[in-house]
Amino acid sequence: AQKVTQAQTEISVVEKEDVTLDCVYETRDTTYYLFWYKQPPSGELVFLIRRNSFDEQNEISGRYSWNFQKSTSSFNFTITASQVVDSAVYFCALSGFTGGGNKLTFGTGTQLKVEL
Amino acid sequence: GAVVSQHPSRVICKSGTSVKIECRSLDFQATTMFWYRQFPKKSLMLMATSNEGSKATYEQGVEKDKFLINHASLTLSTLTVTSAHPEDSSFYICSAQAEDTSYNEQFFGPGTRLTVL
């Protein structure tokens, strides 16, 4: 069975602080994909990144960066110099190939509040 | 590209009525669509996988007769909440998987907020 754990339920930071959102996953698949989504108050999911299990290179996109550590089954997300517009719920998700095809398993989400 | 729409975006209905939610892939064909349910401040829970031209596959604990899913074409899947009750109030999100995707990427619709009075 697949499982995604986001231990941080809620994080509050002051604008311009850096913040890291943790994600730990479990899967028996050797090939799988990891995702991060942002869900602002409007409810629509915004795709942020996809990473496959064979690509452990970290990635940076503007103020966002992701650290994939296969050895610890973690896929953490860091926002540098946070802004109020970053306030949202962030979901980590996993898609594998075992007994269910391409189903996405979501973590419970981390509510990020960025204050002035 | 890869736009998924949902209609309606918001619906309020009386208890006992049925509500149909449409999910459309606007610029690509989707063999597979997924329906999720999200309670306030909770995660997305997969309800069912909808395959074009065949019966949907429901997740454990999801009532098939309560949540009817039809995937009549490669661009449209519908979710009908039958005899809705207040406990069915939730945010329903669909996603569509493009046929040629090699990344298991699902494109999400904007969601439908259902309130049952």
Contact B71, B33 (CB under 8 A): yes
Q: Residue B3 — pLDDT band, cuts 50, 70, 90?
A: very high
What value does the mean pLDDT take over residues A78-106?
87
- pLDDT at B112 exceeding the cut of 80: yes
pLDDT band at B59 (very low <50, low <70, confident <90, very high): very high
* Residue B16 to chain A, least CA–CA distance (Å): 26
- Over residues B6-27, mean pLDDT: 96
Of B49, B97, B111, the CB nearest to A43: B111
| Distance, CA of A21 to CA of A75 (rounded, Å) | 9
Query: What percent of chain A shows pLDDT beyond 70?
Result: 96
pLDDT surpassing 80 at residue A102: no
Inter-chain CB proximity A102 and B106 less than 8 Å:
yes
Instruction: Using the predicted structure, report yes or no on whether residue A100 has a pLDDT greater than 70.
Output: no
CA distance B110 to chain A (A): 5
- Across the interface, which of B41, B46, B108 has its CB nearest the CB of A103? B46
B1: pLDDT confidence band, cut at 50, 70 and 90?
Answer: low
How far apart CA A45 and CA B85 sit, in angstroms, is: 26
- pLDDT over threshold 90, residue A115: yes
Is a pLDDT exceeding 70 seen at residue B100? no
Q: Average pLDDT in the A15-38 region?
A: 94
Residue of B nearest to A49 (CA): B105
Write down the pLDDT at residue A111. Answer: 97
Looking at residue B98, its pLDDT comes to 76
Average pLDDT, chain A: 92
* Type of residue found at A61: S
pLDDT reported for residue B102 = 61
pLDDT, position B101:
62
Is the pLDDT at B105 greater than 80? The verdict is no
Q: Residue A57: what pLDDT?
A: 84
How high is the pLDDT of residue A98?
Answer: 57
Chain A residues in contact with B58 by the CB 8 A cut-off are none
Instruction: Compare CB distances from B104 to A102, A106, A108 and report the shortest one's residue.
Output: A102
- B2 vs B111: CA distance, rounded Å: 16
Which positions in chain B touch A47 (Cβ < 8 Å)? 105, 107-108
Asked if residues B93 and B108 have their Cβ atoms less than 8 Å apart, the reply is yes
| Per-residue pLDDT tens over the stretch B67-79 | 999 988 999 999 9
Distance CA(A94)–CA(A21), nearest Å, equals 16
- 8 Å CB contact of B91 and A43: yes
Which residue in chain B is spatially nearest to A46 when comparing CA positions? Answer: B108
User: Tokens 């602080």 label which residue?
Assistant: A17
pLDDT class of B9 with cuts at 50, 70, 90:
very high
Kindly list the residues from chain B whose CB atom is less than 8 angstroms away from the CB atom of residue A7. Answer: none
- What integer pLDDT is reported at residue B103 of this predicted model? 65
